[in-house]
């Protein structure tokens, strides 16, 4: 679907010759002399690189329609991850490199939203936090309760996060998926 620069909105995806980009910011500029133009900040959806680009006012380009599909993570199959579409129950195998850091927070049965451009997976949206079990951490020593002190803990997915000294192996923790930080102990 062809769009013009007057249709730009933050978050919109456009398909350019040098890749698939999402508009982070844009500004319509009308100088005193010469033609108007639109100055944009674009993020490459595949690589994450950010570029500045200027378009003539009214210039046409292709809008990329990104389909967001809610899926459930089922299991890991070698280096691939298997997801099931919540609507069609169709299973989809996804390579680890297509998911970025998401595998660090994927637990079997959890939901995720896969961003798809045609049949290509270009991103994944996770919940803001997930509950993970501590597989291994150093034991806390009685009296070792310095305020703010942290230690490393290896979670069930293999990711290592910093946790307070009182956390022990086997505990379930709420972890922020955006920053990878410990939030709190999980209830139950």
Give the residue-averaged pLDDT of 31-52. 88
In sign, the C-alpha dihedral spanning 24, 30, 31, 35 is: positive
For the chain, what percent of residues have pLDDT higher than 90?
A: 19
pLDDT confidence bin for 38, thresholds 50/70/90: very high
Residue identified by tokens 């967001």 is 68
SS3 139: coil
Does residue 155 register a pLDDT over 60? Answer: yes
Query: So what's the pLDDT on residue 142?
Result: 59
**Domain 129-185 is in which class?**
mainly beta
What's the gap between Cα 18 and its chain centre? 22
Q: Are the folds of 67-125 and 129-185 the same?
A: yes
Note the pLDDT tens digit of each residue in 164-176.
Answer: 888 888 899 999 9
Pairing state of beta strands 19-29 and 37-44? antiparallel
Query: So what's the pLDDT on residue 26?
Result: 92
In angstroms, the CA 28 to CA 26 distance is 7
Note the pLDDT tens digit of each residue in 3-24.
Answer: 888 888 888 889 888 888 988 8
CATH 2.40.50.140 fits 67-125, yes or no: yes
In angstroms, the CA 9 to CA 160 distance is 38
Query: So what's the pLDDT on residue 166?
Result: 84
Query: So what's the pLDDT on residue 144?
Result: 57
Does residue 79 register a pLDDT over 90? Answer: no
The domain segmentation of the chain, as residue ranges, is: 2-63, 67-125, 129-185
Query: So what's the pLDDT on residue 40?
Result: 93
Does residue 143 register a pLDDT over 70? Answer: no
Q: How many C-beta atoms lie closer than 10 Å to residue 54's C-beta?
A: 12
CATH architecture of the domain 2-63 equals Roll (2.30)
Residue 19: is it exposed, middle or buried by C-beta count within 10 angstroms (0-12/13-18/19+)? middle
Give the residue-averaged pLDDT of 20-29. 90
Give the residue-averaged pLDDT of 144-166. 82
pLDDT confidence bin for 72, thresholds 50/70/90: very high
**Please, what is the average pLDDT of the chain?**
86
Residues pairing with 61 in the sheet: 3
Residue identified by tokens 């099931």 is 84
Give the residue-averaged pLDDT of 19-33. 89
Query: So what's the pLDDT on residue 27?
Result: 92
Does residue 186 register a pLDDT over 80? Answer: yes
pTM score = 0.70
């Amino acid at each position: 679907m062809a769009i013009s620069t007057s249709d730009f909105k933050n978050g919109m995806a456009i398909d350019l010759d040098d890749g698939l980009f999402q508009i982070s910011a844009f500004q319509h500029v009308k100088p005193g002399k010469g033609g108007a133009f639109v100055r944009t900040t674009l993020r490459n959806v595949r690589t994450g690189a950010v570029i500045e680009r200027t378009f003539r006012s009214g210039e046409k380009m292709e809008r990329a329609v990104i389909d967001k599909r809610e899926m459930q993570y089922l299991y890991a199959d070698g280096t691939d991850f298997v997801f099931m579409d919540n609507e069609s129950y169709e299973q989809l195998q996804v390579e680890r490199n297509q998911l970025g850091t998401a595998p660090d927070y994927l637990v079997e049965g959890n939901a995720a939203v896969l961003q798809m451009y045609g049949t290509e997976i270009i991103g994944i949206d996770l919940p803001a936090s997930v509950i993970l079990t501590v597989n291994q951490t150093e034991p806390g020593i009685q009296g070792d309760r310095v305020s703010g002190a942290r230690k490393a803990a290896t979670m069930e997915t293999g990711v290592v996060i910093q946790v307070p000294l009182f956390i022990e192996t086997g505990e379930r923790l709420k972890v922020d998926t955006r920053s990878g930080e410990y939030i709190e102990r999980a209830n139950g």
